[in-house]
Amino acid sequence: MGKVIAVHSYKGGTGKTVLSINLAAALVKHGKKICLMDLDFRAPSLSTLLKIEKADYWLNDYLNGICGIDNVLIDLTERIRDGGKLFVGLANPTTEAIRDISAKDRKWEMRALGRLLSLRNTLLNDKGFDYLIFDTSPGLQYSSINAIVSADLAIVASTLDKSDVEGTKRMLKELYDLFEKKTRIVTNKVLYGENIKSVKDVRSQMEELYGVPILGVIPCFCDVSRAKGTLIFVEDKPDHPFTKIMDEIATELEKMKE
Amino acid sequence: MGMVVSKRGVLGKKHIRMLEKIKESLEKLNEKIEIIIELQKHGGREIQPLPETPLDVMTLLSMPDHLRKTAMTVCRLGRATAEEVAQQTHRARAVESAYLNQLVIMGYLKKERKGRKAYFYVEKENQG
C-alpha cells in the first residue's frame, strides 16, 4: 500500500513547495506513481510554478464536496521523462477562493478532514498511487493540521533561522507528537560557517536539537533561488547537486516504506 | 491453544455458551456502569449528550491524550465498535468502551446499536 506524506514547516519561505515538487519528481524518476497536492489554500503556488493556468476543478471544489477527486487531478506525466506517473491537484489561486476558504467554520474543516482521509482509499488503494504528497500552509492552520493528521509521515522543512528552529521544536512536541505522527526534518538553505562546516555537522546538531532523524540537509543553492521556482530541478538540471540530494531523500523514503 | 481445547473438552459446548452469555451480560453491565460513573462525575445531574459538536483537528489537539487516541481511531475507521478501536490502540476493550461513551456524552461521536453491537462514528449527516 502507498503512503501519504505531508510537507510542512513552522515558517513560510522554508522551501516546502520546491521540496514537494522535486521530491515528487524524484519519486516519479524512480518509477513511482505520484500525486502532488497543493493544500496551501491561503497562498496557492503549484498552479503558477507548474504553469497550469486553468483547471476544471480545484482541490477547493473537492473539499467543498462538489466534485470527486478524479475531476481535480491533472496528468503531468509528460513533464517528467522516463519514469512513473505524476498527477497534481491544485488549490484555486483566485482571491475570491482564498477568501472563501479562510471563512470556513469548524464543521467544514471536520468534513474536509474526512475527505482528505478518504483519499487514502480512493487514490492509494483503488487507483494504485504509490505516494500522495501534500504541500501545506506553514504554521498551525486548519488546512495544514488536517493534512498532517491524514498523513503517514510529516516532513518538516526548516532553515537554521533561530525563530524557525524554535518554532519547529515546539511543533514537534505540541503538534506531531500529539498526533503520534512519524516525523522527519529536512534542513534547508544551509550556509556553512564557523560552527557548521559540513553536512555531518548539521545532521548531528539538528538531530540532537530536535530528537528526530534528519531526512536531508540542503545547502543554500543560488541556482535554486535564481530559478524562481520555475524549474523542476530533478528534471531540468539532472546533474545539479540539489537533484542529487532529492534523489537521496527519495531513496530514503522508499526504504522507510519497506 | 492446547489448553483451550482441553478446557473446552472438559466444559462442553453448553457450558461454553453459558460462559459466553455471562461475558456478554458483564460487558453490557460494564457499559452501563461506565455511563453511571460519567453521570456521577457531573455531580449526579442528568446529563444529555451535548449538542453535536464538530470533531475538528483543533478540538482533537486540545483533548487529553487518552481521548485523542480513541477519537483519532474512530476518525480513521469511520465507524467502529469498541472492539475494533481496541485492536488499533492496543488497549482493553472495556477501556475503549469507556472513552467512546465519554466522547458520545461530549457530543463528538454518535452511537448506534445494531443487534448486540454498538457502533461509534463521527456525525456525517451534514456532510455534503
- Mean pLDDT of all residues belonging to chain A: 93
The residue to which cell 534528519 is assigned = A214
Q: What is the pLDDT of residue B126?
A: 46
Model confidence pLDDT, tens digit, residues B34-51: 777 766 666 655 556 666
Average pLDDT of A124-139? 96
- Evaluate whether A233 touches A243 at the Cβ level (below 8 Å): yes
Taking the domains of chain B in order of start, what are their residue ranges? 15-121
Report DSSP state, residue A83.
S
Distance from CA of A115 to the nearest CA of B (A): 10
* pLDDT at position A65 over 60: yes
* pLDDT at position A177 over 70: yes
CB atoms A180 and B60 under 8 Å = no
Q: What is the pLDDT of residue B2?
A: 41
Of A106, A110, A178, the CB nearest to B61: A178
| H or E segment and range at residue A87 | strand A85-89
Residue of chain B with shortest Cα separation from A120:
B76
- Evaluate whether A185 touches A168 at the Cβ level (below 8 Å): yes
* pLDDT at position B76 over 90: no
Q: What is the 3-state secondary structure (H, E, C) of A171-231?
A: HHHHHHCCCCCEEEEEEEEECCCCCCCCHHHHHHHHHHHHCCCEEEEEECCHHHHHCCCCC
Q: What is the pLDDT of residue B45?
A: 57
What domains are there in chain A, each with its CATH number?
3-257 (3.40.50.300)
Model confidence pLDDT, tens digit, residues A66-81: 999 999 999 999 999 8
Q: A43 CB near a chain B CB, below 8 Å? A: no
CB atoms A113 and B65 under 8 Å = no
Model's pTM, two decimal places?
0.83
**Other Cβ atoms closer than 10 A to B9:** 8
User: Given 3.20.20.70, 1.10.3210.10, 3.40.1350.10, 1.10.10.10, which CATH number is that of B15-121?
Assistant: 1.10.10.10
Q: Chain B residues with CB inside 8 Å of A111's CB?
A: 126-128
CB atoms B128 and A146 under 8 Å = no
Residue of chain A with shortest Cα separation from B66:
A178
Q: What is the pLDDT of residue A68?
A: 94
ipTM of this model?
A: 0.78
Among A48-57, A100-109, B14-23, B27-36, where is mean pLDDT lowest?
B27-36
| H or E segment and range at residue A36 | strand A33-39
CB atoms B72 and A179 under 8 Å = yes
